[in-house]
């Protein structure tokens, strides 16, 4: 696996939407890698998908325990059981294509971002919309 890949937030969002829809028994863990049709995203290689699955695990957006033994990873992919609370918050903030597009454009105009800033910006936009609906 290449270690110098750039993080692609569009791919992160797409993978989160796909993982949210997976059905895994509460006590089960599903091994997933970029070859799985359920996580393939047009325009991205298996290697890119594998790398971004690892990033999702590192970010604490998914729970599953990984495919590791004694701190060593055996092969590409992750173990997946569910999204974490933070993972649900991320995807709930970024689910709407409109919110995602506005958030992504704002981050681009600012010249950079972190995941926390993206989520914060999306939440701010959603909060303003909700206040508009309830008259606050």
pLDDT band at 67 (very low <50, low <70, confident <90, very high): low
Residue 64 carries which DSSP code?
A: S
How many percent of the chain have pLDDT more than 70? 88
CA distance 75 to 95: 30
Q: Could you give phi then psi for residue 79, rounded to 5 degrees?
A: -95, 135
* Tens-place pLDDT, residues 87-129: 999 999 899 898 888 888 887 887 777 777 777 778 777 777 7
Residue 3 has pLDDT above 60, yes or no: no
The chain-wide mean pLDDT, for the chain, equals 83
- Structural domains in the chain, sorted by start: 9-86 (1.10.10), 96-134 (no CATH)
How many of the other CB atoms lie within 10 Å of CB of 101? Answer: 10
Helix ranges (H only) for the chain are 9-20, 46-58, 85-94, 97-110, 115-134
């Amino acid at each position: 696996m290449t270690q110098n890949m750039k993080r692609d937030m569009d791919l992160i969002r797409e993978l989160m939407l796909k993982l949210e829809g997976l059905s895994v028994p509460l006590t089960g863990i599903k091994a997933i890698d970029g070859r799985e049709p359920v996580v393939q995203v047009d325009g991205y290689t298996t290697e890119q998908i594998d790398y971004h699955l690892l990033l999702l695990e590192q970010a604490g957006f998914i729970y599953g325990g990984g495919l590791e033994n004694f701190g060593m990873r055996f092969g590409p992919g992750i173990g997946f059981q569910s999204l974490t609370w933070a993972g649900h918050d991320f995807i709930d903030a970024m689910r709407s294509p409109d919110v995602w597009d506005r958030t992504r454009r704002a981050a681009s105009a600012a010249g950079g971002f972190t995941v926390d800033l993206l989520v914060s910006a999306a939440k701010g936009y959603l909060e303003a919309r909700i206040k508009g609906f309830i008259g606050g």
